[in-house]
Amino acid sequence: MIPPKPPSRPDRVSLWRYMQLFRQDILSAQPARLYRAWMAEFRTPFFRSYLMNQPELVKTVLKDRPNDFPKSDRVSEGLRPLLGNSVFLTNGDTWKRQRRIIDPAFEGGRLRQTFPAMWQASEAAAQRLPMGVVEIEEQTSHAAADVIFRTLFSIPIEDALASAVFHEFRAYQRSQPILNIAAFVPLPRWMPRLFRKDTRASAARIRALISQLVDRRAEEIEQGTAPDDLATKIMTTPDPETGQTFSADEMVDQVAIFFLAGHETSASALAWALYLLALYPDWQDKVAVEAQALQSCDFAVMSKLPVTRDVFRETLRLYPPVPMMVREASCPEKFRDRDIKQGSQLVLSPWHLHRHERLWERPDEFDPGRWQTENGKSCGRDAYIPFSAGARVCTGAGFAMVEGPLLLARLLRDVTVSPIENRVPVPVAHLTVRAKDGIWLNLCKR
């Protein structure tokens, strides 16, 4: 049984047709040859973009020379209404300053401190879970949002302000693709970028709600009553080079990306993990056996979930929440005997890299056991980038690899999931890789 993936378009279509397909769904707009190619060139009337799958090229761009390949401004054009000038979009000295302030909050020791909040969110999610036929993405979105609010602001999702942010974000996430069309089909910079009116309005409402959370926390910090959580840590950490902390507006930008990166991506991965385990009951049973260790809030329990961790890693391979990343060549380059002009867009695609036919054994199959094989270990080092890689690796990668397996194991400790006949989810890329019409599962008490 092969888990679902989007159909591929024919190798040759007109630019206009490609743009139409791209607006509908990034993934199905791409040709099947990208699962075999080391590098592919996309020609437009204006300039070129290049998708790069060869591990050596990915390493050059992300790890060896990240300063030469900054994030493309064309991507930020699509996300700036929500994310402002957040660490996800910035480059150069601004980005370095932001990381100097943010990174200490996510250091290894802090994971132990945030674990009780994750545990509480997982318990709440398990108790909320309904039985019968359930659209599971809605449940995982609720659970992941609860984790973010508890770890960031020490409030459960039932808090009125947290609930308002969550529901507004759900409306936003399906209205805006993760990549503006200008990223993969580069348009001239003079051409206006059009956003749906409801997308801009929803982004403004989300930012207004986040501002209330930030202002409330700033008052608590000033009064000495703020809890020792991620928001307090970030808001009180000075830049070691300048001594300055984030302003209120800067903090709103960062909270917006924390919510996007920590809620949207985790919700996507967890939903697909549950669907995959519904398809593969033998692996589901292995996770359920491990989950019996989840009896008390103890960070050490994570060492008792190796199979669950491999299941989650395999899910991130098959359904990477952020399917494509775009960098820009800051100077002329030569890759695989191709001359790359300055300003060209370089597309790095976890979606294609993780399923590449020349790298992975049985690339489209779900097999958590592959991570213990030589091929799996080799590809894990060279062809696996669900959190990006190098200097710009996701700050919350360690956080996600605790949260995901914990939630997955806790939900399956007491519940079995099975697929619904004739309701096969079709992956599409919105803010993250989601299912076109949701992921429907049948849930029963174990």
Residue 10 forms part of a structural domain:
no
pLDDT of residue 190: 45
> Which range (12-26, 261-275, 359-373, 375-389) has the least confidence?
12-26
pLDDT confidence band for 192 (50 / 70 / 90): very low
The string of pLDDT tens digits covering residues 143-174 is: 999 999 999 999 998 888 888 888 888 777 65
Query: Tokens 């803010």 label which residue?
Result: 431
Please tell me the total count of domains within the chain.
1
Question: Residue 195: pLDDT above 60?
Answer: no
Question: Residue 196: pLDDT above 80?
Answer: no
Q: What is the mean pLDDT of residues 406-410?
A: 98
Q: What is the mean pLDDT of residues 112-132?
A: 95
Question: Residue 188: pLDDT above 60?
Answer: no
pLDDT of residue 443: 98
The string of pLDDT tens digits covering residues 17-47 is: 666 566 666 787 788 899 999 999 887 666 6
Q: What is the mean pLDDT of residues 202-207?
A: 87
- d(CA 69, CA 66) in angstroms, rounded, equals 5
Q: What is the mean pLDDT of residues 351-356?
A: 97
> Which range (15-29, 61-75, 250-264, 409-423) has the least confidence?
15-29
Residue 262: CB partners within 8 Å, gap ≥ 6? 144, 147, 148, 152, 396, 399, 400
- Among residues 27, 3, 21, the alpha carbon closest in space to that of 322 is found at 27
CATH code: domain of residue 370 = 1.10.630.10
pLDDT confidence band for 194 (50 / 70 / 90): very low
pLDDT of residue 30: 81
Residue 9 forms part of a structural domain:
no
Residue 194 forms part of a structural domain:
yes
434, amino acid identity? R
Q: What is the mean pLDDT of residues 238-267?
A: 91
Question: Residue 335: pLDDT above 90?
Answer: yes
pLDDT of residue 24: 64
Residue 2 forms part of a structural domain:
no
- d(CA 53, CA 37) in angstroms, rounded, equals 7
Residue 8 forms part of a structural domain:
no
- Among residues 257, 262, 235, the alpha carbon closest in space to that of 76 is found at 257
pLDDT confidence band for 15 (50 / 70 / 90): low
pLDDT of residue 107: 80
- Among residues 263, 255, 167, the alpha carbon closest in space to that of 215 is found at 255
**Mean per-residue pLDDT over the chain, rounded:** 88
Question: Which H or E run includes 52?
Answer: strand 48-52
- d(CA 272, CA 384) in angstroms, rounded, equals 17
Residue 141 forms part of a structural domain:
yes
Would you call 323 helix, strand, or coil by DSSP?
Answer: coil
Question: Residue 403: pLDDT above 70?
Answer: yes
Q: What is the mean pLDDT of residues 171-184?
A: 56
Q: What is the mean pLDDT of residues 368-379?
A: 97
Q: What is the mean pLDDT of residues 105-130?
A: 91
Residue 3 forms part of a structural domain:
no
Residue 1 forms part of a structural domain:
no
Dihedral sign, CA of 131, 135, 140, 143? negative
pLDDT of residue 415: 97
- d(CA 268, CA 276) in angstroms, rounded, equals 12
Q: What is the mean pLDDT of residues 391-405?
A: 93
pLDDT of residue 13: 59
The string of pLDDT tens digits covering residues 41-50 is: 887 666 678 9
pLDDT of residue 31: 83
pLDDT of residue 102: 94
Angle between helices 73-83 and 248-259 (to 10 degrees): 100
Neighbours of 120 (CB within 10 A): 16
pLDDT confidence band for 320 (50 / 70 / 90): very high
Q: Would you say 93 and 280 are in contact if contact means Cβ atoms under 8 Å apart? A: no
Would you call 175 helix, strand, or coil by DSSP?
Answer: coil
Domain range for 24: 15-445
Structure tokens at 138: 């809605």
The string of pLDDT tens digits covering residues 240-252 is: 999 999 999 999 9
Q: For 158-295, list the strands marked E by DSSP.
A: none
Question: Residue 77: pLDDT above 60?
Answer: yes
